[in-house]
Structure 1
Amino acid sequence: MAGESDVSENALSCANCGKPANLKCPKCIELKLPREGSSFCSQECFKSSWSSHKSVHAKAKLSSPGIGTPGEKDSSSPGEGWSYCLRRGQSRTPKMPHFDWTGTLRPYPISVKCIVPANIDKPDWADDGIPKIEPNSDFQHTVEIKSPDLIEKMRETCRIAREVLDAAARIVRPGVTTDEIDKVVHDATIAAGGYPSPLNYHFFPKSCCTSVNEVICHGIPDARKLEDGDIVNIDVTVYYKGVHGDLNETYFVGNVDEESQRLVKCTYECLEKAIAIVKPGVRFREIGEVINRHATMSGFSVVKSYCGHGIGELFHCAPNIPHYGRNKAVGIMKAGQTFTIEPMINAGIWRDRMWPDGWTAVTADGKRSAQFEHTLLVTDTGVEVLTGRLQTSPDVFPWLKS
Structure 2
Amino acid sequence: MIEILSAVELPRARAAGALVADILQSVRSRCTVGTNLLDVDRWAQAMIVEAGAQSCYVDYAPSFGRGPFGHYICTSVNDAVLHGLPHDYALRDGDLLTLDLAVSLRGLVADSAVSFVVGGPAPAGSLAMIDATQRALAAGIAAARPGARIGDLSHAIGTVLDDAGYPINTEFGGHGVGSTMHQDPHVTNTGRPGRGFTLRPGLLLALEPWVMADTDELVTDADGWTLRSATGCLTAHSEHTIAITDDGAEILTLPSRTLL
Q: Which TM class, normalised by the smaller chain length?
A: over 0.9
Distance in 2, Cα, partners of 1:337 & 1:375: 10
One of 201, 208, 215 as aligned partner of 2:73: 208
Relative contact order (alpha carbons < 8 A, sep ≥ 6): 1 or 2 greater? 2
Q: Partner residue of 1:229?
A: 94
1:107 aligned residue:
none
**What does 1:97-246 align with in structure 2 at a 5 Å threshold?**
139=1, 143-202=2-61, 203-246=68-111
> Within 2, Cα distance between the matches of 1:280 and 1:233?
31
Distance 1:345 1:329, change over 3 A: farther
In structure 2, the partner of 1:373 is 239
CA RMSD, Structure 1 to Structure 2 (Å)? 1.6
1:336 counterpart letter in structure 2: G
Q: Distance in 2 between matches of 1:238 and 1:244?
A: 6
Name the amino acid aligned to 1:151.
L
Question: Distance in 2 between the 1:205 and 1:289 partners?
Answer: 35
Cα deviation digits, residues 2-48 of structure 1 (max 9, x gap): xxxxxxxxxxxxxxxxxxxxxxxxxxxxxxxxxxxxxxxxxxxxxxx
State the secondary structure of the residue aligned to 1:370: strand
Aligned twin of 1:32? none
Distance across 2 between alignment mates of 1:144 and 1:285: 19
2:216 pairs with one of 342, 350, 358: 350
Aligned partner of 1:66 in structure 2 is none
| 2-structure distance, mates of 1:179, 1:212 | 13
Equivalences for residues 20-39 of structure 1 within 5 A: none
Distance in 2 separating the partners of 1:298 and 1:246:
25
1:55-134 matched pairs, under 5 angstroms: none
Asked if structure 2 preserves the Cα contact closer than 8 Å seen for 1:167 and 1:188, the reply is no
For 1:183 and 1:320, how far apart are their aligned partners in 2?
31
Do the aligned partners of 1:320 and 1:329 also contact (CA within 8 Å) in 2?
Answer: no
Partner of 2:248: 382
* Structure 1 length-normalised TM: 0.61
Change (3 A) 1:328 1:216: farther
* 1:364 corresponds to: 230
Shift of 1:391: 4.9
Instruction: Kindly tell me the number of residue pairs found equivalent between the two proteins.
Output: 253
Q: Superposed, which structure 2 residues align to 1:253-292 within 5 Å?
A: 253-255=118-120, 256-292=122-158
* Runs of at least 5 residues in structure 2 that lack an aligned partner in the other structure: 62-67
Distance in 1 between residues matched to 2:211 and 2:257, nearest whole Å = 27
Residue type of the partner of 1:359? W
Preserved CA contact (<8 Å) 2:19 2:255? no
TM-superposed CA distance for 1:180, in Å, is: 0.9
Of all paired residues, the percent bearing the same amino acid is 27
1:260 CA drift (Å): 0.7
Q: What is the one-letter code of the residue matched to 1:198?
A: Y
- CA change 1:224–1:261 in 2 (3 A) is same
| Change in CA separation of 1:336 and 1:169 when aligned onto 2, cut-off 3 Å | same
Q: What CA distance in whole angstroms lies between the structure 1 residues aligned with 2:193 and 2:145?
A: 19
Whether the 8 Å contact between 1:353 and 1:363 is mirrored in structure 2 is: yes
Kindly provide the amino acid, as one letter, of the partner of residue 130 in structure 2. V
Q: Give the 3 Å change call, closer, same or farther, for CA 280–188 of structure 1 in structure 2.
A: same
Relative to 1, partners in 2 of residues 1:175 and 1:328: Cα closer, same or farther, differing over 3 Å? farther
Tell me what 1:294 maps to. Answer: 160
Q: Structure 1 residues 218 and 204, CA, compared in 2 at 3 Å: closer, same or farther?
A: same
Q: Residue by residue, what CA displacement relative to the aligned partner does 1:125-176 show, whole Å, maximum 9, x if unpaired?
A: xxxxxxxxxxxxxx2xxx2221122212111111111111111111111111
2:64 corresponds in structure 1 to none
Classify the secondary structure of the residue corresponding to 1:306: coil
Would the alpha carbon gap of residues 152 and 220 (structure 1) be closer, same or farther in structure 2, given more than 3 Å must change? same
Provide the rounded CA distance (Å) in 2 between the counterparts of 1:390 and 1:166.
10
In structure 2, what is the equivalent of residue 250 of structure 1? 115
| TM-score (structure 2 length as normaliser) | 0.93
Residue in structure 1 matched with residue 176 of structure 2 by the alignment: 310
Is the Cα contact below 8 Å between 1:321 and 1:329 reproduced in 2? no
Tell me the SS of whatever aligns to 1:201.
coil
State whether residues 271 and 372 of structure 1, in contact with CA within 8 Å, keep that contact through their aligned partners in structure 2. yes
